[in-house]
Amino acid sequence: MELKELSTGAHRVLRKNWKGGFTIPTTKLYPFQWNWDSGFISLGLSHFNLDQAIQEIQSLFSGQWENGMVPHIIFHSENEKTYFPNHDFRNSNVNNGAPQKPKTSGITQPAVIGFVLENLLGRFPDDEKLQVFISEIFPKVVNSHRFFYTYRDPEREGLTYIFHPWESGRDNSPIWDESMNRIQVKEGDIPSYQRRDTSIANLDERPTSYQYDRYVYLLTLGKKYRYDGRAIFEESPFLIQDTLMNAVLIRSNQSLIRIGERFRFDTGEIKDWQQQAKSRFAEKLWNEDLETYVGFDLRAKKQILHKEIGGLTALFAEVPNETKAKSLNKYLTDLHDRGYYLCPSFDVDSPLFDSKRYWRGPIWPQMNWMIYHGLKKYGFEDTANIVKSDLVELVSNLGFYEYFESQKSLAAQLSTGYGGGDFSWTAACIQDLITT
């Protein structure tokens, strides 16, 4: 597909999913506003309409909690019944600081807004409306980072934890398997529920029901403890310092520092977080045998020993030194030489690799966007260009899907991508990658 045609397609998808003030990821499967999706969507929208890009972020922050948390879903419409778990199941108002309207979920997602704002400002440095918006939103974004360091880092290490795989944005990645298997779901532990996703998307592309029971278990636990506080840290069987979650937070801290300096805001607190976070990430999450960064399971008190896409986002956070960055780059060039599209979401050599099932192997557009920019920071131009052109090729051949087959030989036999179609962040990331 010609780049112009791709851009027209991206615009069409973003227009289709724009609900007047915010954008849904895709119809049916995800009919509300999702946190980190919105960040990438805002980038995409800014190429067509900066006002909408601003509104996208304002709508997201209309759901911010008093404790600073930006929830992972904002349920702008309360009557939409096609999604589970809906706002009534999550009952986030058990926490007094959750807004009554809009209803929200009680967990969060990667903190992308800091770097999104910097990107917008870099492209529209003199736009007055954008400057006013950034001065207004800046303290709220800082507050959302403060949430992580206050509520999700009780030992004051500089690394934030997640207590639900959905917070990481990588729902059913095999990196959670061992920790999830530790959860014994007994009769009566979780309420009965009916999944909606499996009647919309293919069963073999979605998480299993064994996994779903555990997702519901952890949501129920969060609800029991009003979604914050020490009790979750003490009781949750799932408690992980994730690579991607922390890398994105670090990258956004850096952006907030630079924005703050330009607007003469106080950045002292952010600089303190950043210094500690970067050094702790570098020492605690690196694994020398695997030559990558890995998450840390706080319950089992050990690293999670798998190679997967989150480790590569350390490049985007500018955490690795040159030697470590080189190993990450080599990992990618080897995969390319072996006939994989970049970047598979999980270790292709592991028995747990599944090139079709969601976060267990396929290619995800927003991950390519971050890794592309990470590689460029370190001067790995050739690999960065492969990461970009692989995504362009997949979308051109297979459409604006949620995620894609990672094995080239298999992808060549397909006529579509996987998961939801006309997907907003796919459109947004493509548009941004082909125009900047």
Q: Which parts of 149-188 interact with ligand GLC (CB under 6 A)?
A: 169, 171
Q: How far is the CB of 349 from ligand GLC (least distance, A)?
A: 23
Question: Of 37, 153, 167, 171, which is the active-site residue?
Answer: 171
Does 44 contact ligand GLC by CB under 6 A? no
According to CB under 6 A, which one of 18, 22, 32, 36 is a site residue for ligand GLC? 36
Q: How far is the CB of 151 from ligand GLC (least distance, A)?
A: 21
Q: How far is the CB of 69 from ligand GLC (least distance, A)?
A: 16
Could you confirm whether 171 is annotated as catalytic?
yes
According to CB under 6 A, which one of 18, 22, 32, 34 is a site residue for ligand GLC? 34
Beta strands in 286-431 (DSSP E): 286-287, 292-293, 296-297, 302-303
Question: Of 347, 354, 402, 405, which is the active-site residue?
Answer: 402
Nearer to ligand GLC among residue 73 and residue 141 (C-beta) = 73
Nearer to ligand GLC among residue 274 and residue 426 (C-beta) = 426
Nearer to ligand GLC among residue 209 and residue 385 (C-beta) = 209
H helices present in 128-187, as ranges: 128-151, 177-181
Q: How far is the CB of 333 from ligand GLC (least distance, A)?
A: 26
CA distance 140 to 177: 34
Best CA proximity match to 55, nearest among 87, 19, 80, 31: 19
Q: Which parts of 321-360 interact with ligand GLC (CB under 6 A)?
A: none
Could you confirm whether 269 is annotated as catalytic?
no
Contact 293, 311 (CB under 8 A): yes
Q: Which residues pair with 407 in a beta bridge?
A: 340
DSSP state string for 17-52: HB-SSSB-SBTTTB-SEEHHHHHHHHHHHHTT-HHH
DSSP state of 421: S
Angle at 343 between CA 336 and CA 210, to 5 degrees: 130
Q: Pairing between strand 73-75 and 286-287?
A: unpaired
According to CB under 6 A, which one of 7, 10, 37, 363 is a site residue for ligand GLC? 37
| Chain residues that interact with ligand GLC, rule: CB under 6 A | 25, 30, 34, 36-37, 169, 171
The residues that are catalytic are 171, 402
